[in-house]
Amino acid sequence: MQKEVESTKITITLPTSAYFMSGIRDFTLSMIKNTTNFAEKWAFRFQSVVDELCNNAIEYGSAKGSEIRISFIHRPNTYLQIIVEDTGTGKNKIKATELKKLFDTRRKPGYAFTGIRGRGLVKIVGEWTDEINFEDRPGGGLKISVKKYIKDSRENAEGLKPKAQTTQNIQNILEAERKIQNNNEINIKNLK
């Protein structure tokens, strides 16, 4: 009888402050590069996914002085799952069904983005993960869960879904959003 491979779960709770995001970015990169079988380019992509989800939770989901929770669940040779939860005390009180509808609308081919803001969830998180789920938390707030299967990232040399835009287009979007959100330049050329 073969022993079932166990998942590893790491959960981090942070105050609602962008100050702590550099540490989460570093942790994400290091954890994925050192403990999973994903190619290095995926470590950088997941870093962007985590950054987008956490920044949304900080900006919209949890009020200042509150917290967000990030969980990493890794099942060896199978998948990496990232869960970000907010408290629902932030400036944008939205239900999971509303966010799902917004996500699905913006994900449709031909959707015209009229500005730089509002692209990250669809263009970064949606394109670089295999599953995304939106849930309401019982005590308020949202729980967003994304999953990427290792097999899929190995089979597709670029690791992108066929309907995804080119890596360069996504890099341009990432770069523009980072400049706006963080008021400093971030080099994302390592994503190639």
* Structural domains of the chain sorted by starting position, each given as residue range(s) with its CATH number in brackets: 8-182 (3.30.565.10)
**Whole-number Å distance between alpha carbons of 153 and 53:** 20
Strand 79-85's sheet: what is its strand order? Answer: 8-15, 67-75, 79-85, 142-149, 131-136
For residue range 56-73, what is the model confidence (pLDDT) as tens digits? Answer: 888 888 888 899 999 999
54: amino acid identity, one letter: C
Amino acid at 144: I
pLDDT at position 82: 94
Distances (CA, A) of 103 to 118, 122, 142, 151, 191: 10, 6, 14, 25, 24
> If you ran DSSP here, which 8-state letter would residue 73 be given?
E
For 18-60, write each residue's pLDDT tens digit. 888 888 999 999 988 888 888 888 889 999 999 988 988 888 8
Mean pLDDT of 118-147: 87
How would residue 162 be classed by pLDDT, with cut points 50, 70 and 90? very low
Contacting residues for 142 by C-beta, under 8 A, at least 6 apart = 57, 61, 85, 86, 88, 94, 96, 99, 134, 135, 136
| pTM for this predicted structure | 0.74
Q: What is the pLDDT of residue 115?
A: 60
